[in-house]
Amino acid sequence: MTLRKYAVLSLLCLLGFTAGWAQNQTVNKKKATKEKKPMEKQQTNIRFINRAPVGYSHVVEVKGGRTLYISGQLALDKDGSLVGRGDFRAQVKQVFENLKARLEEGGASFKDVVKLNYYLTDASGVQTVRDVRNNYINTETPPASTLVVVKQLVREEYLIEVEAIAVVSE
């Protein structure tokens, strides 16, 4: 008799669990199939504040838009081969060409860039970076920027890496 009680109780628990699980699946399916409301498009407003004399803004304020985060770009060509081994200017140029390509892939351009982070292995190349950069960015409203000198990048032959943040109007 006791064994029968445990069997019946176990069966009732299993049925209760199964019924609850099935009801939960139905509710989740209904939620997933509800028509999603399209997001209301916001106007993008970007304000560059306190432009520094050496070509960057101290503050960039962004309201609305779609944000792109471009990971650090190195001086690599389409095949992954280093461009400009030992030639800092050639590497900087390739890095900015790579940034341009990544921005275009995301539907953006350099006019949409609000932040640049530079990683150099030698501080003496700062003016070269500025000279090449100015051929790409809007120098009237330059992005906020950070430059860090590092001991070494991921491989010794890489002399510069640059990452970017861009905001695109929707």
Q: pLDDT class for 170, splitting at 50, 70, 90?
A: confident
Same domain as 50, residue 24: no
Tell me the CA distances in angstroms from 55 to 17, 47, 143, 159, one per residue in order.
65, 16, 8, 21
Q: The pTM is what?
A: 0.72
Same domain as 160, residue 119: yes
Number of domains in the chain: 2
Same domain as 99, residue 29: no
What percent of the chain clears pLDDT 90, i.e. is strictly above it? 62
Containing structural domain, residue 3: 1-36
Helix (H) or strand (E) holding 124: none
Q: pLDDT class for 51, splitting at 50, 70, 90?
A: confident
Q: Cβ of 73: how many Cβ atoms within 10 Å?
A: 20
